[in-house]
Chains A and B, each alone.
Chain A
């Protein structure tokens, strides 16, 4: 069984401030972990993924996430928020292969000018 918990359904940051979106997971097998971003009225697109190659994963648009097995966490960060980062972000976990991907409930990021 697997599950994903995203802390905070809404997060607001000032432009230029640090972005931190939290994700904790549970999985009975070594997981693959993902962050997807959804801009208004669009589908989800991959931001970054952890596939066991490196614990610190860099993604698009300056985002990165660190896999911490001891904390079962995969938090998403960006040093300096930009107005264009306003979107909804989803954390997801998968055992791989045809096994189903489980999504968190999402965190809406608001960037205040």
Chain B
């Protein structure tokens, strides 16, 4: 049971470089999310998707882009990395649909990004 898998787990970038984080889930979940975690600030939602081909902005979307071309994958892109984007990024998914979804989230193990 892989659940939610994130790659890469660690990455160091220089300011201005670009990169993509990949999230894959094997639970056939409709909804997928990208969060960032910073000390003392909890988890903040960057972008989310309620289905294949759809994306929406979360709480802190600036500087990030996302795509959901396939239901099982959700990509997070940084076009021009900045030191303020140094963080731990978590992907999550939830069942969604019409079965009384409570919003329970299933998380990946995180991707630690450092921007120098």
Q: Is the CB of B107 within 8 A of A32?
A: no
Q: Decide: B103 and A42 in contact? CB cutoff 8 A.
A: no
State how many angstroms separate the Cβ of A104 from the closest Cβ of chain B.
6
- Which of the residues A45, A49, A103 comes within 8 Å of B42, measured between beta carbons? A103
Known A42-B109, A100-B48, A103-B43; contact A49-B31, beta-carbon cutoff 8 A: no
Contact with B along A44-71 (1 / 0, CB 8 A): 1110010100000000000000000000
Against A, the Cβ 8 Å flags (1 = close, 0 = not) of B73-105 are 000000000000000001010001000111111
What secondary structure prevails in chain B residues at the interface with A? loop
In the complex, the answer to whether A46 meets B110 with C-beta atoms within 8 Å is no
C-alpha spacing A109/B46, complex, angstroms: 27
CB distance B107 to A45 under 8 Å? yes
Q: Is the CB of A98 within 8 A of B31?
A: yes
**B50 close to A (CB within 8 Å):** yes
Give bound CA distance, A95 to B4, whole Å.
23
Which residues of the partner chain A approach B107 to less than 8 Å between Cβ atoms? 36, 43-45
Number of interface residues of A (CB under 8 A): 26
Which residues of chain A come closer than 8 Å to B106, judged between CB atoms? 46
Partner of B103, one of A43, A90, A97: A97
Nearest residue in A to B30 (C-beta to C-beta)? A98
Give chain A residues whose Cβ lies under 8 Å from the Cβ of B105: 34, 36, 44, 46, 92, 101
Identify 15 new A-B residue pairs, CB closer than 8 A, beyond the known A97-B96, A98-B101.
A9-B40, A34-B105, A36-B107, A41-B110, A42-B109, A42-B110, A43-B4, A44-B43, A44-B107, A45-B107, A96-B102, A98-B96, A100-B48, A103-B43, A105-B40
